[in-house]
Amino acid sequence: MTKTQPKTKVAIIGSGNIGTDLMIKVLRVSKTLEMGAMVGIDPESDGLARAGRFGVATTAEGVDGLIAMEGFDDIDIVFDATSAGAHKANAAKLAPYGKKLVDLTPAAIGPFVVPAVNLDEHIGLDNLNMVTCGGQATIPIVAAVSRVTDVPYAEIVASIASKSAGPGTRANIDEFTETTSHAIEAVGRAWTGKAIIILNPAEPPLIMRDTVFCLINDPDEVKQDAIRKSIEEMVAAVAAYVPGYRLKQAVQFTRVPADEPVHTMLGKGVGEVAVSHKVAVFLEVEGAAHYLPAYAGNLDIMTSAAMQTAERIATELSAGVLTEGAPA
């Protein structure tokens, strides 16, 4: 009879929408993670109240309260679902204790991680950044194209329901566009990346929609089948941990007119680059509605990606492949 591995204890810093949804995912869905603590700064927050009802240890004293908790030493992984600025302070305070940090803010202290693309490359590090919701949804597509052919330029447009964008999301809008643009290049392997976010005020709220545009050079149209297949395989890989992730319609290829000045979109130093086609990919992300409404796919894909990352870390820790970070 196979001995069941004990679950890995995790803490979540941030008792807002993202942190609460993540907590419920851990409690309901994860086979390898166990809630060790829910951390907030507002004692009246719904997230802390729900955690208490679920029997999860809580503190309203932020990261300092977490460090002071009786079971802190038993926690191996800490999710940070606060803000970019707060994560920098939290990471500094946690550094001496050797915890693995999964960062759901745009702080990007650690490397950008998109589980379907590059988790294996960075899994041994102590601080992994989940980019942004738009990045988690669209960077896999850019990576799928770039593993077939060069991508001189990639642009993503993330449209989310305004109602799903809370104070934390709105406070980090500038960081969203900057972080996502950098990750399109660093993870998606586009030479130049551009990110645009739209807060859609429509009522009733619409689920997350994402559009990915890539410029490629394929004058004889011999790469289209390979690109299409690569994208479909990538969509399936993401959908394995984000069930509501799907292609909205078939991948489109459009020839770029010879007189269209696409060179103006390319980064400085790229020089003259031949571009023959635009690849357009239309995506939809429906949330699992564990805590948030189904239209909040932008938050669901973040918490799903973070949990996938932590589950892989937990599996590696249990197998002895990874070791806990050494305390300073």
DSSP string, 183-197: HHHHTT--SEEEEEE
- Residues paired with residue 128 on neighbouring β-strands, in sequence order: 102
Closest CA to 308 of 159, 128, 172: 128
Report whether 274 contacts 303 (CB < 8 A). no
85 and 192 assigned to the same domain:
no
User: Which pLDDT band holds residue 328 (cuts at 50, 70, 90)?
Assistant: very low
4-24: average pLDDT: 93
Which residue would you say has higher pLDDT here, 11 or 328? Answer: 11
pLDDT of res. 169: 79
- Which residues are part of the catalytic machinery? 133
Is residue 102 included in any domain, yes or no?
A: yes
pLDDT of res. 54: 98
CATH number for the domain harbouring residue 176: 3.30.360.10
Report whether 311 contacts 142 (CB < 8 A). no
Strands 127-129 and 208-216: unpaired
154 and 249 assigned to the same domain:
yes
User: Tokens 């802390």 correspond to what residue?
Assistant: 48
User: Which ranges of the chain does DSSP label H, i.e. alpha helix?
Assistant: 17-28, 46-53, 62-68, 84-94, 115-122, 133-146, 167-171, 173-186, 224-239, 297-319
- Domain residues for 306? 8-130+301-319
194 and 49 assigned to the same domain:
no
User: Which pLDDT band holds residue 232 (cuts at 50, 70, 90)?
Assistant: very high
pLDDT of res. 4: 65
What is residue 250's three-state secondary structure? coil
For helices 17-28 and 46-53, angle between their N-to-C axes, nearest 10 degrees: 20
Q: What is the pTM of this model?
A: 0.93
CATH number for the domain harbouring residue 83: 3.40.50.720
237 and 192 assigned to the same domain:
yes
For helices 115-122 and 133-146, angle between their N-to-C axes, nearest 10 degrees: 90
User: Which pLDDT band holds residue 292 (cuts at 50, 70, 90)?
Assistant: very high
Is residue 139 included in any domain, yes or no?
A: yes
pLDDT of res. 268: 56
Count of Cβ atoms closer than 10 Å to residue 255 Cβ: 12
155 and 288 assigned to the same domain:
yes
225 and 264 assigned to the same domain:
yes
For the chain, how many structural domains are there in total? 2
Is residue 13 included in any domain, yes or no?
A: yes
Is residue 2 included in any domain, yes or no?
A: no
Is residue 324 included in any domain, yes or no?
A: no
Is residue 204 included in any domain, yes or no?
A: yes
281 and 231 assigned to the same domain:
yes
